Amino acid sequence: MPDHDQHEQDAASVRLKRSRERSTSMLGSRRYDISDLYHLILTLSWPQFLALVVLVYLVINCLFAAAYVASPDSIANARAGSFTDAFFFSIETLATVGYGYMNPRSLYGHSVAAIEILVGIITFAVVTGLVFARFSRPQARVMFSRNAVIDSFNGQRTLMLRAANQRQNQILEATATLALVRDERTLEGQSFRRFYELGLVRSRSPAFALTWTIMHTIDAKSPLHGLTEEALHACYATLVVTIIGLDETLAQSIHARHEYATTDILYGHRFADVIITAPGGEQYVDLARFHDIERIGSA
């Protein structure tokens, strides 16, 4: 029961801290801008993209079905005024299948069918291009630790976070950058958001294959020097980590990015060891413990 109560208190503390985090939204900018439709479609998730394709498909066929119904004699062998027959004839025409049972009968029907065939060719070409663009985009499967920790490393206070390459290949010439973003106020009383680049113990890896502990030494030159946990909360600090490299399989540049809010930065903690050594001397990386941390007391 005491452990359960402590767990509840820790959870409540985390919720309280997260409630103090500030969310920032952009005013005067539309989230969905039709003028940048290509970029918008590429940023959709796969379920959203497939739903959009189905919606466009249905709308096009409904519009042309309505056009066929507007002239009862436009389709041979179709029931007069039947929207269902016109809808399925539109599907056959849009896909250029043409089963032959129903076919355009009047000049009006042939004209609408000709326009629909042109629309179908363009639509399928656009959808094919979008699907290819979505599949061909290089994406990194880099996993970042849920938390960043501050611990002593080689006798110096150090900020650490972990990254792992989840693919069974290597990211060549991988480069990591880490930045601190926080609110500041000038002598004139103006408030602005400022970026500080944090120097890393090792910012480059010739071959990023397994895990990578990204470390920043908090010395006298560090923007984090002298900042307490409360001070980080007060200035709404955020850590932004980016990894860029060349995927050896795709032969294309890939990048991964992650942000840590102040509630994700834990003082007096360290990462659990993920390297397992087998009796025969072979080593393994246990990603099941990738996010595990251990409390060590005051940092």
Q: φ and ψ at 11, to 5 degrees?
A: -65, -40
Q: Measuring CA to CA, which residue among 234, 216, 215, 238 is closest to residue 225? A: 216
Q: How many CB atoms lie within 10 A of CB 29?
A: 7
pLDDT of residue 96: 85
Q: How many helices (H) and strands (E) does the chain have?
A: 6, 16
Q: Is 155 helix (H, G, I), strand (E, B) or coil?
A: coil
pLDDT of residue 210: 87
pLDDT of residue 191: 84
pLDDT of residue 26: 59
Most confident of 22-26, 98-102, 187-191: 98-102
Statement: residue 24 has pLDDT above 70:
no
pLDDT of residue 142: 94
**Cβ atoms of 227 and 213 closer than 8 Å:** no
pTM of the model: 0.72
d(CA 249, CA 255): 15
Q: Which residue has the higher pLDDT, 61 or 81?
A: 61
Mean pLDDT of 233-250: 92
The structure tokens listed for 48 are 């959203």
**Domains of the chain from N-terminus onward:** 34-136 (1.10.287.70), 142-295 (2.60.40.1400)
d(CA 267, CA 89): 67
pLDDT of residue 22: 57
Tokens 């389709």 belong to: 75
